[in-house]
A and B are shown apart, each in its own frame.
Chain A
Amino acid sequence: MIRLEYRNVTMRFSSGGGTITAIRNVSLSVADGEVVAVIGPSGCGKSTLLNIGAGLLAPAEGEALVDGERVEGPNSHVAFMLQKDLLLPWRSIVENVMLGVEIKGFARTECRRRAYELLDTFRLKEFADHYPHQLSGGMRQRAALARTLAVDPSVLLLDEPFSAVDAQTRIMLQQDLARTLKQAGKTALLITHDLLEAVILSDRVLVMSARPGQIVDEIEVDMADRDDPLKRRRDGKVSGFIARLMDGLHIGEATADLAREAV
């Protein structure tokens, strides 16, 4: 069953008299429970793709579908998470996690129950009554993930969710995300510029070209342990995928050799 689908989506923005085509004729589909990563050079319209899926932008041409329904605006099947944690400084952590369910009009006790359950999953229970500024970047990002999951979306749109945290925290966050996605059987579209992250977290990687963004390559990551990125990191097959991604992105061969040795 296909959860998320883009059909011939093109998006243009007007900028100072002219128009810029951000993405052109993008078609992709993500099956139930699948995690698909999208990589591409900066400014290739990855975030535009995500905003269209979330119903925050209407495409110029084509359409996005979630669970077979055309996306006409924000809808309850989809939730997104950005590089910025977007926690509200005036709300405690548990209140931040409750934001989505609260807006959707759930009873307060139900909101709290869900929030505490997720905080428990993400090892944040003892920080429930803290304010965001009292937490580390990694904890804040976990809280943001909890808030995204609290509304129980069938599709998660993740826009470079871990690019603002340090390398070690990122590894832990990737582990948390991968486990949660697998356990809850969620479908996700992960936008990232980190090739390694794309390979270890996903079932499939799509490569986008520079603007106007188009999908130029698709790589199946036929590796086990999608719920254990730490294990995948140690797997020698990873370097092969990364090399292919670099070819797709036209990153110079010399650089690719260096990275192959480094991995």
Chain B
Amino acid sequence: MRPARSPLARRGTIASLALLVIFLAAWQWGPSLLGIPHFIVPPLSMVAEEFVRMWHVSSLPFHTGITAAEVLVGFALGSLMGAVIGYLLGISPTAEFALSPYILALQIAPKVAFAPLFILWMGFTVYPKILVAILIVFFPVMINVLTAIRAVDPDLINLARSFKATRAQIFWKIEFPASMPPFFAGLRIGSTLAVVGVVVGELVGGNAGLGFLLAFGEGQANTPMVFVAILLLTLVGGVAYLAVILIERRVLHYMPARPLESL
């Protein structure tokens, strides 16, 4: 059941599309008008041509597929681990107390800085990229889940307790479902961060993936290639984000509809 689109939403959509047209036009003709050389900002048509060339010659589908697979696996494992650890720490205040300084330290450490280390350990394979993605996705998901468990209304827990609920029942009937909205907020953040982790891994070392094409294009001073890689990385991240939102809508169907069908 979809509410009728409001005038606000319609106006917003029109404005959005108009902005897109303006942006694409500015990209196509702006650089020449401003006298910016093509090796600094290649116009839209050049990037499009390069995209077609790369598709046929540089195995663009293969590289995109590799990156997408790394993002998917890294995101899935990272969020799974983040959720599990988040729930465990959430249920056990002792564990949280004991582990929090280490978690904090690891959270402060810039995760992408681990990329060279992982490559030293695992070579030019897909694994170091996945590992960086796992590490970077882990934290927002874990923190959101942990905070959500902590924030459950104690009266709700008492209500369940007054019905003689076991610890497991309290978790599955109250805490777990109550944590769903923040969990999905964490997943949204994680889905975009996973791309960052994978790209850094690919930039640091390897011979496959969009990050590799990015570094390769840079080395050749092939600016259109760099643009193509950036666009496809954005696409991969966008698809991941959209997938999270679609799942979120199904899981959180009970939530009151938001006034604007915003993403």
Contact = CB atoms under 8 A, between A and B. Distances in A.
Given A86-B156, A99-B173, A103-B173, A54 B162 contact: yes
B177 A88 contact: yes
Interface stretch (A77-85, A108-116, A181-189): A77-85
A54 B158 CA distance: 9
A90 B184 CA distance: 15
Interface in A65-82: 74-76, 78-80, 82
Contacts of A75: 164
Nearest to A130: B254
Interface in B230-263: 254-256
Contact of A80 (B162, B165, B173, B178): B162
A131 B254 contact: yes
Interface residues of B, number: 20
B1 to A, nearest CB: 13
B163 A74 contact: yes
A56 B158 contact: yes
B162 A90 contact: no
A74 B177 CA distance: 23
Interface in B148-181: 153, 155-156, 158-165, 169, 173-174, 177-178, 180
B161 A74 contact: yes
A74 B162 CA distance: 5
Interface of B: 153, 155-156, 158-165, 169, 173-174, 177-178, 180, 254-256
Interface of A: 51, 54-56, 74-76, 78-80, 82, 84, 86, 88-92, 99-100, 102-104, 131, 133, 151
12 contacts: A54-B158, A74-B162, A84-B155, A88-B156, A88-B173, A88-B174, A89-B254, A90-B177, A91-B254, A99-B160, A100-B163, A103-B173
